């Protein structure tokens, strides 16, 4: 099938590459000429395991092309995916400027029947706005060209996106046209060949499904963090409580790991967008508001542990930080807990020596660009030289089994402050390490 994907960000590039991988002819479009030029040269703008190899392979075979011209890209295709950004506005709403801008451009350029697919995460009712934008442009041209708007939300986990796309646990298709639904099911047939995982529904339900899924996962994270904070006060161990409740099949172990709060491009934005949508319809989403507030407070927890241990004034002190990105296997720094930590510690006079396998470029170039007192290191052990303590905020694999003897040589104190509960408290105690973690018994008794 011939496809155009508008937007070469995280969702667009992964979707385009995976569709091309199974033999579809795909053109990825972006207004950023520099990005398109780099993609043509094999330079991938994001880090995602397996993506670079797939893009290079598909581009070499001719199944994946890149262009800045939407008009040219949609002339010989059957399906157009809109995968542009929907950044969070000041009021928490999803900004549809780019989505509707693309819709208008499609209406201005299309010459034959098309299926237009909302792949971006968008609020309920967006498909109607996309449809109206396209219809308006066609009317202004005096053109009578049929088209169908479909909602096909993505459920990709950063760090595992390629596998998630190639082997989906479900494909949600929201359509008000049987013809469009059949075409979409055929497009995804290769990915669901062994087991039919395609779920068709009305458009608004499909749009809502994406938000409901992410908000449910965010709720589990804030819930376990709330439990961990209670554990610290009553003397219980949050790690043991997690095991006790996770063994219940109705609850499960996924997304109930106490930590420093969630980040990234999805959960914070989607929770706030659904809160805003609820308000727009006269409803107060009390659970989601609490989920967001707990998460904002949770990002302050690790800085508070540092201050409790080392004092309000951190002048002259150095801390070694392992992990910048909001999760492992990505270079994404959006809403990362490390941003809160670094700004808080440096504002108190501390120096932070940070190491992350992939996050330095985004941190140094944008998110923490002007922060004084932040130094980037080439290895995890370099980050510990002369530091008062090691602070862990991202659970990269290379941090799981460190050389504690080497760490003891480099650190001033045998102190670990763990924002992801990666280590065994009993082992830390046996090895004579001072170990602080999320949900530590009696920490705030």
* Residue pLDDT tens, the chain, 445 long: 999 999 999 999 999 999 999 999 999 999 999 999 999 999 999 999 999 999 999 999 999 999 999 999 999 999 999 999 998 888 888 899 999 999 999 999 999 999 999 999 999 999 999 999 999 999 999 999 999 999 999 999 999 999 999 999 999 999 999 999 999 999 999 998 877 799 999 999 999 999 999 999 999 999 999 999 999 999 999 999 999 999 999 999 999 999 999 999 899 999 999 999 999 999 999 999 999 999 999 999 999 999 999 999 999 999 999 999 999 999 999 999 999 999 999 999 999 999 999 999 999 999 999 999 999 999 999 999 999 999 999 999 999 999 999 999 999 999 999 999 999 999 999 999 999 999 999 776 6
Q: What local confidence, expressed as pLDDT, does residue 442 receive? A: 79
CA 399/CA 379 separation, integer angstroms: 11
List 18, 28, 58, 266, catalytic entry? 266
Sheet containing 351-355: give its strands across: 374-376, 351-355, 318-322, 390-392, 415-418, 434-437
CA 187/CA 410 separation, integer angstroms: 55
Cβ-contact 157, 179 below 8 angstroms: no
CA 128/CA 118 separation, integer angstroms: 11
397 Cβ neighbours under 8 A, 6+ residues apart = 328
Q: What local confidence, expressed as pLDDT, does residue 319 receive? A: 98
Q: Does 18 participate in catalysis according to the annotation?
A: no
Q: What local confidence, expressed as pLDDT, does residue 347 receive? A: 97
Q: Per the structure block, which two tokens stand in for 278?
A: 């609820």
Q: What local confidence, expressed as pLDDT, does residue 445 receive? A: 60
In this structure, what are the phi and psi dihedrals at residue 22, rounded to the nearest 5 degrees?
-100, 15
**Predicted TM-score (pTM) above 0.85:** yes
Cβ-contact 20, 26 below 8 angstroms: yes
Q: What local confidence, expressed as pLDDT, does residue 116 receive? A: 98
Q: What local confidence, expressed as pLDDT, does residue 143 receive? A: 96
């Amino acid at each position: 099938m011939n496809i155009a994907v508008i937007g070469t960000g995280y969702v667009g590039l992964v979707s385009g590459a995976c569709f091309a991988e199974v033999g579809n002819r795909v053109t990825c479009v972006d207004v950023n000429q520099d990005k398109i030029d780099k993609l043509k040269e094999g330079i991938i703008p994001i880090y995602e395991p397996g993506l670079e190899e797939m893009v290079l392979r598909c581009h070499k075979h001719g199944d994946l092309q890149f262009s800045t011209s939407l008009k040219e890209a949609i002339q010989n295709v059957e399906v157009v995916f809109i995968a542009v950004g929907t950044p969070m506005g000041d009021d928490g709403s999803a900004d549809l400027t780019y989505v509707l801008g693309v819709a208008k451009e499609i209406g201005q350029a299309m010459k034959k029947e098309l299926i237009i697919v909302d792949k971006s995460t968008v609020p309920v009712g967006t498909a109607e706005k996309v449809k109206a934008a396209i219809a308006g442009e066609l009317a202004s041209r005096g053109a009578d060209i049929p088209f169908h708007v479909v909602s096909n939300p993505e459920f990709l986990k950063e760090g595992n996106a390629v596998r998630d796309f190639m082997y989906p646990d479900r494909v949600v298709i929201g359509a008000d046209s049987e013809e469009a639904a059949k075409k979409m099911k055929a497009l995804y047939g290769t990915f669901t060949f062994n087991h039919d995982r395609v779920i068709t529904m009305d458009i608004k339900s499909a749009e809502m499904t994406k938000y409901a899924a992410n908000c449910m996962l965010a709720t589990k994270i804030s819930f376990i963090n709330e439990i961990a904070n209670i554990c610290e006060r009553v003397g219980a161990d949050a790690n043991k409580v997690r095991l006790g409740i996770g063994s219940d099949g109705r609850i499960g172990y996924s997304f109930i790991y106490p930590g420093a709060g969630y980040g990234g491009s999805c959960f914070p934005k989607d929770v706030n967008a659904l809160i805003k949508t609820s308000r727009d319809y006269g409803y107060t989403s009390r659970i989601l508001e609490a989920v967001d507030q707990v998460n904002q407070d949770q990002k302050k927890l690790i800085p508070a542990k540092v201050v409790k241990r080392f004092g309000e004034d951190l002048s002259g002190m150095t801390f070694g930080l392992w992990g910048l990105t909001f999760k492992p296997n990505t270079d994404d720094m959006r809403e990362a807990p490390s941003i809160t930590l670094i700004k808080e510690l440096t504002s108190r006079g501390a120096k932070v020596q940070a190491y992350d396998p992939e996050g330095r470029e985004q941190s140094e170039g944008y998110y923490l660009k002007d922060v004084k007192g932040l130094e980037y290191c080439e290895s995890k052990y370099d980050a510990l030289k002369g530091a008062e303590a090691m602070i862990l905020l991202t659970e990269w694999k290379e941090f799981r089994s460190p050389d504690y003897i080497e760490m003891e040589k480099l650190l001033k104190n045998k102190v670990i402050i763990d924002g992801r509960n990666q280590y065994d408290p009993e082992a830390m105690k046996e090895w004579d390490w001072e170990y602080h973690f999320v949900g530590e018994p009696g920490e705030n008794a």
